[in-house]
Amino acid sequence: MTWFAAGMRGRLNWPGEVTAGVTLAALAIPLNIGYAQIAGLPPVVGLYTAIVPMLVFALLCSSRQLVASPDAPIAALIASLLVAMAARPGSPQYVELAYAQALVCAVVFLLFYAFKLGFLADFLSEPVLVGFIAGLAVEILTSQVEKILGVHVTADRFFPELWEIITKIPQAHLWSVAVGVATVVVIVALRKFAPALPGPLIALVAATVAVAWAGLDKHGVSVLGRVPSGLPMPHWPSISLGQWAGLIPGAIAICAVTLADGLLTARRYAEQHGYRLDANQELRAFGLANVAAGLTQSMTTGSSASRTAAMDATGSRSQLPSVVCAAVVAVLVAFFSGVLAYLPNTALAGIVAVAVIRLIDVRKLAELWRLRRSEFWIAVVCLLGVPVLGSLTAVVIAFLLSAVDVVRRAARPSTATLRPGGHGRYVRGHEAGPLTVYRFESQLFFANAGTFKTEVARLAGDGARWIVLDAEAITDVDTTGAQALRETVATLRERGVTFAISRATTGLRHLLAHYGLTELTYYDSNEAAAAAYRASNHA
């Protein structure tokens, strides 16, 4: 609560922070309802998530800007994971599983906190995240287009579902389309010409008034319906032990995505505004926020990059807006939930569609295509894998592809052959000289040990009498690499070629000694090795 201490010392603009909190509530109310629907949960569950879980995170985190909230990736993950457990969206069993999912996520977050495992999120590379989040956005957009069109689709696979939507466009309900498209137009226009205004709330209020005034709900425009009033009550999920265990893989996926996205966002704003971020404290805050979510009839809480950016744009420099937002939503569900009954579902779909379409980062995909094609295809596999194979399977496949790509590049490390030139300088050459310096720019391990042996043997075959391994860039050697080094030294010795190592770190020398490679000769620099070579020839 460092932000609160700063506020008590007079460093906060309290009126501005409170105004930002009201703005955050105006954004959170329609989006939380929409994301709850994406997750297959009752609208009130999304609203409950903006009360106690948001408050707990705000009081415990170290970030002054990060907004804890359900977001599109979390909502889509919940839906795909719970449907895979044969639960029907909206059913009592489904809702209980969603509460339990939050508690299992809380356990994973707190384990990450206890063992300081936040670094594991770094194993989800940027191409994986770009493709994964874009895939979730495509999946969400498909479902929202169905709502805007007002058609019913029976297909349960992505491409058949997409084809059925296309074929049913002539059957679209015109009033539903009009309300949904008008909502999108209003939000986009306000974002461009009046970005300070809460576009989603204004568009939703206008759509609700229009539907109620024209009686469009009586002409086929679907509305939200009754939303229970009252604050969330303590509740323990009622599911079987086997179902608890079945939620663990999904919880790991949700937490990994939240950490990769949330910590990156929090770190970016901390650096921008010059304060220290405690990543471990963020893990604890996420964990306890999800404990609160699971026990107060809420959905899993992650981070929202869009709402965080919106708060930063208002000038907010604390978590006070989240506290104010929680209070505003609590008052709404306690005393004014009746007004939510007339919200048109097609308008909510339009709000969600505008929010998630920005998650498809076409510019980043184009950049990956331009800079590194292998990472572009990893992103594409993840993008297509989410709607076709399911989110969890897509993450696993993309993670494995990333690992294979890393090993593939490490197996062909950058190497250089240097020979002494004039004025004590070293020049690159394609052919070996009597004294050849071989620079190996990677750790020496199982994937590239064969490359190392082959290239050194080639240098010896090209006439090198002294081969010096420039080990400055070698940070580690595994047992396979050590064996390759041992065999290389033995082979060179049989050919009468002297082998030495230059510029090895103290740690590398100790490691090679640990492997029993005690007969190696070390030089502090390539120049020292060259001097030893000249001395041996003179002798």
**What is the secondary structure of 444-473 as a DSSP string?**
B-TTTHHHHHHHHHHHHHTT-SEEEEE-TT
> Tens-digit pLDDT profile for the chain (539 aa)?
555 555 544 466 788 888 888 889 988 888 899 899 989 999 999 999 999 999 999 999 999 889 999 888 889 889 888 888 867 888 899 999 999 999 999 999 999 999 887 666 666 677 887 888 788 788 888 888 988 998 888 877 788 888 988 999 899 989 999 999 999 999 899 988 988 788 888 888 899 899 888 888 888 888 888 888 899 999 999 999 999 999 998 898 888 888 877 887 887 788 778 888 888 899 999 999 999 999 999 999 998 887 888 888 778 888 999 999 999 999 999 998 888 888 898 988 888 888 788 878 899 999 999 998 888 988 898 888 888 887 777 767 777 877 777 777 777 888 888 766 654 455 565 556 788 899 998 999 998 999 999 999 998 888 888 999 999 999 999 999 999 999 999 999 999 999 999 999 999 999 999 999 988 989 998 888 888 888 887 65
pLDDT at 9: 47
SS3 441: coil
The tokens describing 173, both together, are 């309900």
Q: Where are the domains of the chain?
A: 2-7+19-404, 415-538
SS3 316: coil
Q: Helix count (H) and strand count (E) of the chain? A: 23, 8
The CA-atom distances, in angstroms, between 64 and each of 2, 61, 256 are 8, 8, 22
What angle is formed at CA 336 by the lines to CA 332 and CA 339, rounded to 5 degrees?
A: 115
The tokens describing 240, both together, are 């079987």
Those residues whose C-beta lies under 8 Å from the C-beta of residue 519, and which sit 6 or more positions away, are: 489
For 415-538, which CATH superfamily applies?
A: STAS domain (3.30.750.24)
Nearest to 307 by CA among 203, 198, 192, 205: 198
Tell me if 481 sits within 8 A of 460, measured CB to CB: no
Residue 171 DSSP code = G
Distance CA 530, CA 505 (A): 19
Alpha helices per DSSP H over 314-432: 320-335, 345-357, 362-371, 373-389, 391-411
Residue 415 DSSP code = E
Q: Contacts for 362-365 with beta carbons within 8 Å, 24 or more apart?
A: 364/126, 364/130, 365/130, 365/134
Which helix (H) or strand (E) element contains residue 528? helix 526-538
Residue with tokens 């306000």: 190
Distance CA 57, CA 294 (A): 14
The answer to whether the predicted template modeling score (pTM) of the entire model surpasses 0.85 is no
Query: Burial letters for 515-531: b for 16+ Cβ neighbours within 10 Å, e otherwise?
Result: eebeebebbeebeebbe
Strand partners, 223: 344
Distance CA 14, CA 488 (A): 70
Alpha helices per DSSP H over 39-173: 43-49, 52-60, 72-83, 92-114, 126-149, 158-167
The tokens describing 83, both together, are 């449907």
Map 246-273 to HEC letters.
HCHHHHHHHHHHHHHHHHHHHHHHHHHH
| The residue type at 330 | A
Tell me if 105 sits within 8 A of 288, measured CB to CB: no
CA count, 13 A, side-chain hemisphere, 121: 23
The tokens describing 404, both together, are 């294979």
pLDDT at 125: 74
Strand partners, 303: 68
The tokens describing 204, both together, are 């939703």
The tokens describing 53, both together, are 């879980």
Assign residue 423 a region: left if phi > 0, alpha if psi is -120 to 50, beta otherwise?
A: left
Distance CA 376, CA 373 (A): 5
**Burial, 77: exposed, middle or buried (Cβ in 10 Å; 0-12, 13-18, 19+)?**
buried
The tokens describing 231, both together, are 């604050």
CA count, 13 A, side-chain hemisphere, 108: 26
Residue 414 DSSP code = -
Tell me if 74 sits within 8 A of 302, measured CB to CB: yes
What is the chain's Cα-based Rg? 30
Distance CA 16, CA 148 (A): 36
Distance CA 140, CA 137 (A): 5
Residue with tokens 């409170």: 18
Nearest to 337 by CA among 3, 29, 18, 24: 29
